Amino acid sequence: MIRVGEPRWLTQDEQRSWRAWLTAAFLLDERLEHDMRRENDLSMPEYEVLVRLSEAPERRLRMTALANQTLFSKSRLSHQITRMEAAGLVERQQCDDDRRGSFAVLTDAGWARLVAAAPSHVESVRSHLVDVLDPAQFSQLGTLCATVVAHLTSETEATANDDVS
């Protein structure tokens, strides 16, 4: 819950760290997107969908689960899957247990695009993030990000529960 009242302004050091985080996150996303498009003619959202499906049993996930894993809204995921279906990378399958639900399924063509794209993507991640930091810094970055994710996830769940009650 966000506190109401007198703002707790950021100190100069906090402001510097906050702006460095915003800039780094933006520039890293932009660079990874640029490299993915240049090297593989895929967007990062397309690549993320392919990765998530490749890691799932039978290379398929319920659309709701895929939306949760990719952090896409259901609407955004539906549009993304429609575009990827047209490109032959995925297909939708009806859920036999629940006629309202459907699965996104990785096609052989989608698998081949993922396998072809993965090496250059890993190199891009390494050159723009992993290798910029020493191993201890990179480990600390992961720990710090996991802490923020845990906080935001619990906050999101609490907000969802408040909306239901």
As a whole number, mean pLDDT of residues 9-26 equals: 97
What are the Cα distances from residue 61, in Å, to 26, 92, 130, 165?
29, 10, 30, 29
* Interaxial angle between packed helices 44-55 and 12-40, expressed in degrees from 0 to 180 and rounded to the nearest 10: 80
**Listed residue (19, 84, 21) closest to 49, CA to CA:** 84
Domain spans in the chain, listed from the N-terminal domain onward: 27-132, 134-165
Q: What is the pLDDT of residues 43-87, one digit of tens each?
A: 999 999 999 999 999 999 999 999 999 999 999 999 999 999 999
CATH 3.40.190.10 fits 27-132, yes or no: no
Q: What is the pLDDT of residues 123-145, one digit of tens each?
A: 999 999 999 999 999 999 999 99
CB 53 within 8 A of CB 61: yes
For a pLDDT cut of 70, what percent of the chain falls above it? 92
73 three-state secondary structure? coil
